[in-house]
Amino acid sequence: EKGGYPSFMAKEINDQPDAVGQTLLGRTDAKGNLVLDELRIDESILRSVDKIVVLACGTSAYAGQVAKYAIEHWCRIPTEIELSHEFRYRDPIVNEKTLVVAISQSGETMDTLMAVRYAREQGAKVVAICNTNGSTIPRESDAVLYTHAGPEIAVASTKAFLAQITATYLLGLYLAQLRGNKFRDEIADVLADLSEMPAKIQEVLDNSDPVKELGRSMADAKSVLFLGRHVGFPVAMEGALKLKELAYIHAEGFAAGELKHGPIALIEEGQPVVVVLPSPRGRDSLHAKVVSNIQEIRARGAVTIVIAEEGDESVAAFSEHVIHVPQTATLLAPLLTTVPLQIFACELAAAKGYDVDQPRNLAKSVTVE
Ligand code: F6R
């Protein structure tokens, strides 16, 4: 049932074009409007929402962090992402005008379930984004937007993550459409870009031999750092989490802009650093800023592995390794840039002889607080 792959995780990484494709399927009408029939929350309530709070744990929380960038940009609704287990212990401000989005692959994560219950007690409406039909969190929420990644067997989440990000994009675009804000005219373009993602993810998979090789060659690494900026920041944290979970080595994700505020002190000769480089076509010269971060850490001895957009040769001359992914819109890039990091962690851990499907000390669903 591993479909010829050495592990469920490898299979699920390769299932990702389908996971994203299935999650997009049937959610637009012939005119290209989003139809989220399952979102059974009164449209007038969705129109009057003045804040979105995304609640999740672990990898699902990184999907929520990506969602914040997209939803705020498209909908202009203030959006927070909070770890479920922190949320209800700090007297959070939630009320009838708050839309809570609870993201959970399993639908059984106790921390997230308790946060959902708390939010509803405060009068908030809750939409669950979930991969498991009929599980507890969707049952206890006001509405559910299912991700259609199919069952995820490996303990470390991969295809569910990409499907969750996709579902949050759909939710954000739907709210933008419903609220008729300025961004409305661009929705069709984003949907067109999204429809190309399964093929682009497939391209990343088809070109993954170098990153596999790299993962295997780094089996002796004691620590790997990950840097990203904007939506690349949660991707960096997800890359680090995968490596901790699977390979049991120290890994940490940082916002690239934070380097000089502390983490650069960690850089010494030979320190591997994976950098998620923003598109050079993006606004705000973030690309140039991260390129200069790469130069700063290289000058201090870091060995850099850069995830860059196809055609971006800006770091070719001074980075040890460059992994290219297809071009896409800035906000959609996590669907591509995450994939090499998953493969890297999977290969590195497998090269160490570890069971990538059943990492030590971890359970697939965490049903205790
Ligand atoms: C990481 C991982 C965990 C889960 C987290 C939330 O690979 O699998 O961090 O993402 O335990 O689980 P769900 O999404 O089921 O609520």
3-state SS of 238-297 is HHHHHHHHHHCCEEEEEEHHHHHHCHHHHCCCCCEEEEECCCCCCCCCHHHHHHHHHHHH
The per-residue pLDDT for range 257-272, each reduced to its tens digit, is: 999 999 999 999 999 9
Beta bridge partners of 272: 303
Sheet holding 51-56, edge to edge: 79-83, 51-56, 98-104, 125-130, 143-146
**Atom 16 of ligand 1 has which residue's CA nearest to it?**
104
**Measured from the CB, is residue 157 less than 6 Å from ligand 1?**
yes
Provide the pLDDT for residue 95: 96
Q: Are 339 and 16 in contact (CB under 8 A)?
A: yes
Substitution candidate for ligand 1 out of 65, 106, 242 with most atoms within 8 A of CB? 106
The per-residue pLDDT for range 288-330, each reduced to its tens digit, is: 999 999 999 999 999 999 999 999 999 999 888 999 999 999 9
Q: Are 21 and 335 in contact (CB under 8 A)?
A: no
- Centre of ligand 1 from the C-alpha of residue 60, in Å: 6
pTM over 0.90: yes
Provide the pLDDT for residue 38: 87
Q: Are 103 and 56 in contact (CB under 8 A)?
A: yes
Provide the pLDDT for residue 108: 97
Flag residues of the chain having pLDDT under 70: none
Substitution candidate for ligand 1 out of 7, 13, 59, 66 with most atoms within 8 A of CB? 59
Q: Which residues form the catalytic set?
A: 364
